A and B are shown apart, each in its own frame.
Chain A
Amino acid sequence: MHTSSPPLAPPTLEVTALQTSFIYKRFSVKAVRDVSLRLERGKTLALVGESGSGKSVAALSLMGLLPPAGRIVGGQAVYRQADGTTHDLARLQRRQMRRLSGPDLAMIFQEPMTSLNPLLTVGDQIVEMLLTHERLSREAARKRTLDILRLVEIPAAERRIDDYPHQMSGGMRQRIVIAMALVCNPALLIADEPTTALDVTIQAQILDLMRRLQAELGMSILFITHDLGVVAEIAHQVAVMYAGEVVEQAEVGQLFSSPAHPYTQGLLSSIPHAMRKNPEEGRRARLNPIPGSVPPIHALPEGCTFRPRCPHSEQRCTLPVTLETAGPGHRTRCWKWEAVQWSTRH
C-alpha cells in the first residue's frame, strides 16, 4: 500500500501554483498563495494543515464552492478524465462544473447534514442524484441506490433507504453522504475532514470503508485533514500546507520518516506519544512543539513564511523560496532541506 510506484500514467489531478483571494470592498486577503499538488490515479493524497493554513479554501477552490468574495486569482488545476480529456477546474463555469460533479467529481464534507436535504428521505436524494446524471428508470435507480447503501454497509439498507437524515446517527449520515458521492462512480473524490466530527471507533469504520471502496472502485481521493494519524492511515501521498502554501509533498512513508521541511518536522514532534515518557527521571518528558504561532495572513513575514518559528533559519531564508526536489516524488519549500532531513535522522 505504501510502496511508491513511478508516476507513469498522467495524474488525475494536477494543481499548479493555485492562488485564491477573498476580495472585499476595502481590502483583499490572499488565503491560498501557492498550492501545487499531484494526485495519481487511484491514489489518496492527503492535504494536511492546521487551522488558517488555507487547506479548506484550496479545496473549495477546486470544487467551485468558494463563497461570493472568494476568487481564484492564479494557477491552474487540471483534472484529467479517464479518456484523457482535461478540464481546468480553476477556470470552469458553474454550469460545466455541475456537469462534471457526480460522474467525475464528488465531495464529502465534515458535517454530513450540509450535504443532505432534511426534507427528503436519503433514498430519494440518492435516486435524484442518479437520475440527474444517468438515463435510468426510477426502479433501476432505486435498485442502484440500495446496492450503494449496502456497499457503504448501512445495516438493514432496504429499511433505512426510506429514513430521513435526522433519523440517523452522525456516522450513518456520513455513510449516506459517501454513498451519495460514490453512486455515480466518480473518478475523483474530494473529502474535506470527513471524519473529524466522528468518534474514534466510527472514524475507524469510515476510514476502513473509504480504503475498501477505493480498492474496489479505483477512484482518486483528495483527503483534507488536520490529523496526522488519519494521514498515516489513509494516504499514499501527503502535501503539507502552511500559511497558504504547500511547503512539502512526499510519499507518506518518506514524509513521516524523513521530513524535509522544518514545519513538517515540528508537526510530527508535536504528536503526543507515550514512548517519550521518561519514568526514570521522575519527571514526565515534554513534547517538542513548534514555538510561537501561525502569523496572521495579512502580516506574513518576507521570504520563507515559517522563518520566525524555524530552528534552522538563517540570513538567506528572508529570500523567497520555491518548491525544490528533495528526492523522487518529494518536494519541499526550504533552502536548507538537506540539513533538516539530516537533523531528523540524528
Chain B
Amino acid sequence: MSAVTASATHAGPLRVLLQNRVVTLSIVVLGIFAIAAIFAPYLTPYQPNGLSMRERLLPPSSEHWAGTDELGRDIFTRLIYAGRVSLAVGLGVAALASVFGVVLGILAGFFSRLDPAISRLLDAMMAFPDVLLAIALLAAFGGSLLNLIIALAIVFTPRIARVVRASSLVVRELTYVEAARALGVSTPRILFHHVFRNITSPIIVQATFIFAAAMLSEAGLSFLGIGIDPSMPTWGVMISAGRQYIDTAGWLILFPGLAITICVVALQLTGDGLRDALDPRIRKSI
C-alpha cells in the first residue's frame, strides 16, 4: 500500500497548485498587476501628477479609461503608479517580516533558553491592534515609505515568528538534525541547512498572507493620512482624496478600491493554494 500512496504523491507542488483554476487565475491577475507596475511609464501617455485644470473630474471615457480626479490627473495612470508603491510596500513588508520572523522563530524554537523571552515578546506584540502599533511606530520613526515598510514589517513579524517557532520545534526533534549534531556539524549550518530549509513552506504561505495584509494596512494608514507623503500616489491616498466626491464622481474611489480588493483577494487565494500545494498531507488526498 505504501507504493500506492508514494506514486500518488509524486505530483510536484507546482502541478498541484496549477490544477486549481482559481489559484491559476489569481496568479495571472497578480502577474498583470506586477507587469503594470513595472512597465507603468510605457502603458500610459500621462504623468501621475500631470495636472490639467480643464479636465477635472471627467468620467471614464476612451481618452481617460478610469476618468480624472479633482486636479485633472488621469486616474488610470495614477492607479498603475500607485500599484508600484502598494506592491512595493506589500513585497517589502513580507520580505522584511519574514527575515525578522525567521530569525526570532528559529532562535525561540531551537534554543529553549531563549524561548520564554522571545515568546512573551511576540505575545505582547500580537496583543496590540495592528494599526495602532503601526501608528505608534510611525510616530516614533517619522513618516516615509521606508519607515512605513519597517513599521509594518515589525507589526507582522510575530505571525511569521510563531509559525517558524512551531515548525522548528518539530524539525529540531527529527533524527536528521540529531545526525548532523553527531557528525559535528556547526550549529549555524544545522540551523540553515537542516532547520530553515525544511520549514520554508509555511513561511512562504504566511508571507503571501502578510503581503495582502500589508497592502491593506498601507491603504488604511494612507487613508488616515499617516505614513506616506500624500503627493506619492498610493491606492489608499487616492481613496482618501476622492472620498469628498463619493456622490458626484464615484469613480475616484471605485477604481482604487477595486484595485485593492482584487489584489488582496488574489493574494489570499494564492496563499490558500500554496498552503494546500505545499502540505504533503493534503497533496496526498488530491
Q: Give residues in A with beta carbon < 8 Å to B.
A: 22, 24, 27, 29, 31, 51-52, 54, 56-57, 296-298
Contacts and interface: CB of A to CB of B under 8 A. Distances in A.
A52 B3 contact: yes
Nearest to A53: B1
A286 to B, nearest CB: 27
Interface in B3-46: 3-4, 7-8
B8 A24 contact: yes
B7 to A, nearest CB: 7
B231 interface: no
5 contacts: A24-B8, A31-B3, A31-B4, A51-B2, A296-B3
| Closest CB pairs A-B (n = 4) | A297-B3, A29-B4, A22-B4, A57-B1
Contacts of A54: 1
A29 B6 CA distance: 11
Interface string B169-207: 000000000000000000000000000000000000000
B4 to A, nearest CB: 5
A153 B168 CA distance: 44
A52 B8 contact: no
Query: Interface of chain B, helix or strand or loop or mixed?
Result: helix
Contacts of B1: 31, 52, 54, 56-57
A52 B2 CA distance: 6
Contacts of A24: 8
Contacts of A51: 2
Chain A CB within 10 A, most for which of B4, B7, B8: B4
Nearest to A32: B1
Nearest to A297: B3
Interface of B: 1-4, 7-8
A27 B4 CA distance: 10
A57 B1 CA distance: 7
Contacts of B3: 29, 31, 52, 296-298
Nearest to A27: B7
Nearest to B1: A57
A51 B3 CA distance: 9
A296 B3 CA distance: 7
Query: Interface of chain A, helix or strand or loop or mixed?
Result: loop
Nearest to B11: A26
Nearest to B3: A297
Contacts of A52: 1-3
A22 B8 CA distance: 10
Nearest to B8: A24
B7 A298 contact: yes
A29 B7 contact: yes
A273 to B, nearest CB: 28
A57 B8 CA distance: 17
Nearest to A68: B285
B92 to A, nearest CB: 41
A29 B1 CA distance: 9
A335 B276 CA distance: 50
Contacts of A27: 7
B173 to A, nearest CB: 20
Contacts of B7: 27, 29, 296, 298
Given A29-B4, A29-B7, A298-B3, 18 more contacts: A22-B4, A24-B8, A27-B7, A29-B3, A31-B1, A31-B3, A31-B4, A52-B1, A52-B2, A52-B3, A54-B1, A56-B1, A57-B1, A296-B3, A296-B7, A297-B3, A297-B4, A298-B7
B20 to A, nearest CB: 14
A146 B196 CA distance: 53
A325 to B, nearest CB: 30
B18 to A, nearest CB: 15
B140 to A, nearest CB: 51
A296 B1 CA distance: 11
A296 B7 CA distance: 10
A231 B7 CA distance: 31
Nearest to A22: B4
Nearest to A295: B3
B205 to A, nearest CB: 26
Contacts of B2: 51-52
Contacts of B8: 24
B43 to A, nearest CB: 42
Nearest to B6: A296
Contacts of A296: 3, 7
A61 to B, nearest CB: 11
A297 to B, nearest CB: 5
A31 B2 CA distance: 10
A88 to B, nearest CB: 23
A51 B7 CA distance: 16
A57 B2 CA distance: 10
Contacts of A297: 3-4
Contacts of A298: 3, 7
Contacts of B4: 22, 29, 31, 297
A24 B1 CA distance: 14
Nearest to B286: A25
A24 B5 CA distance: 11
B252 to A, nearest CB: 49
A93 to B, nearest CB: 24
A31 B8 CA distance: 14
A22 B1 CA distance: 9
A245 to B, nearest CB: 15
Nearest to A243: B3
B10 to A, nearest CB: 11
B283 to A, nearest CB: 13
A24 B4 CA distance: 10
A251 B3 CA distance: 30
Contacts of A31: 1, 3-4
